[in-house]
Amino acid sequence: MLTKEAIYMKKSVMIKILSLAVASAMVFSCAACSDSGKKDKDEADDEEIEASEDEEEEEDEDPTPTPEPTATPTPTPEPTPATFFEEQELTITPQGEYDLDTEWLYTDNDTQNGPTTVPITVEIKETTEGCDEGYKMIVADFGIDYSSKYFYDYGDFFAYPPEGITNHPSTWVSAFDRYTGVSFEPGDNTVLVEYEGKTYDVTCTFDWNIVGDYDNGVAADYCTVTVTCPVDYDGAVFYIGHGSGGDSQIGEGQEFDFTSKQYTIDELPYYVTNGFPYFFFSANNK
């Protein structure tokens, strides 16, 4: 028979064994719960990622179309109308020395007869000296040398052959606006040039200096053409060529009236070349 002490010892051992068993069971149970929770969380995360990827795939497969930007049309500039100079197919000649083809000028009714050639020189310069504010002068100096057609004897000039010719070869010097063709003749009058919405007031003078005389022969003509205009005006063109005999009528019985009308150079008789070339010059050689 066991004593009380032995029975107590046996119970204590059994209680300890039972406590250890319960503790172990609780540890295993917690670990299992932890693994299960982690697994559930991982599965939930995987499901969210798959759902997100599915949504992205759906967006890629059926994207909302982005409207293309509407291009603003570039306005087409209005074509610049051709100038008179371009329409007439004229050409600027650089300033310098040239031979001018023309004809002899008879004294009877100023009629030309017989071709000839005379040397000419042209020099053009611009200045604002002596001008009102905002204006400039364009000065063209023409020299026409007849000395090869005459001989000099004690201050008198005499015509060489052909026989009966007592005057000089026919030449004409003038100026006009390159944009509109408006002539600056007859000089000492104001011409209004209207171009591209602007109006330019232009005056022109002609100063002739003759070496010799028209009765016994002319050795040289020097003509200075001075155009006074606004500083921003660049349309002055000077020209020299064959004179057409002094015809002063546009049409039969119609005289020029420069006080009431501005004429373009193709309306004036001295623009008719009769087969002889004209030279056209400008201050900038353009």
156-181 tens-digit pLDDT: 444 444 454 455 677 889 999 999 99
* Integer CA distances (angstroms), 171 to 8, 101, 125, in order: 158, 9, 22
Q: Return all residues near 206 (Cβ < 8 A) that are at least 6 apart.
A: 173, 174, 187, 223, 224, 225
Distance CA 185, CA 19 (A): 135
For the cut 90, the answer to whether the pLDDT of residue 6 exceeds it is: no
Residue 130 identity: G
The 10s digit of each residue's pLDDT in 111-122 is 556 778 889 999
pLDDT at 220: 78
Distance CA 286, CA 22 (A): 116
- Whose tokens are 């917690």? That residue is 30
Could you tell me the pLDDT band of residue 52, with boundaries at 50, 70 and 90? low
Residue 101 identity: D
Of residues 141 and 251, more confidently modeled: 141
Of residues 208 and 160, more confidently modeled: 208
Percent composition of the chain: helix, strand, coil (DSSP 3-state, to 5):
25, 35, 40
Distance CA 275, CA 202 (A): 31
Distance CA 232, CA 200 (A): 9
Q: For residues 167 and 160, is the Cβ–Cβ distance under 8 A?
A: no
* Average confidence (pLDDT) over 83-110: 84
Distance CA 223, CA 122 (A): 10
pLDDT at 158: 43
Residue 8: Cβ within 10 Å count: 11
Distance CA 168, CA 37 (A): 125
For the cut 60, the answer to whether the pLDDT of residue 43 exceeds it is: no
* Average confidence (pLDDT) over 93-111: 77
Q: For residues 115 and 89, is the Cβ–Cβ distance under 8 A?
A: no
* Average confidence (pLDDT) over 124-130: 96
φ/ψ of 40, rounded to 5, equals -65, -40
For the cut 80, the answer to whether the pLDDT of residue 256 exceeds it is: no
* Integer CA distances (angstroms), 78 to 72, 81, 134, 219, in order: 18, 9, 30, 52
Of residues 5 and 197, more confidently modeled: 197
pLDDT at 19: 61
Distance CA 74, CA 37 (A): 67
For the cut 70, the answer to whether the pLDDT of residue 214 exceeds it is: no
H or E element in which residue 209 lies? strand 198-213
Of residues 172 and 33, more confidently modeled: 172
Domain spans in the chain, listed from the N-terminal domain onward: 92-277
Of residues 192 and 42, more confidently modeled: 192
Percent of the chain with pLDDT over 70: 58
DSSP string, 144-155: EE-GGGEEEETT
Distance CA 108, CA 77 (A): 57
Could you tell me the pLDDT band of residue 18, with boundaries at 50, 70 and 90? low
Distance CA 130, CA 143 (A): 24
For the cut 70, the answer to whether the pLDDT of residue 134 exceeds it is: yes
For the cut 90, the answer to whether the pLDDT of residue 240 exceeds it is: yes
Could you tell me the pLDDT band of residue 20, with boundaries at 50, 70 and 90? low
pLDDT at 166: 52
Q: For residues 271 and 184, is the Cβ–Cβ distance under 8 A?
A: no
Q: What is the mean pLDDT of the chain?
A: 74
pLDDT at 129: 95
* pTM (two decimals): 0.66
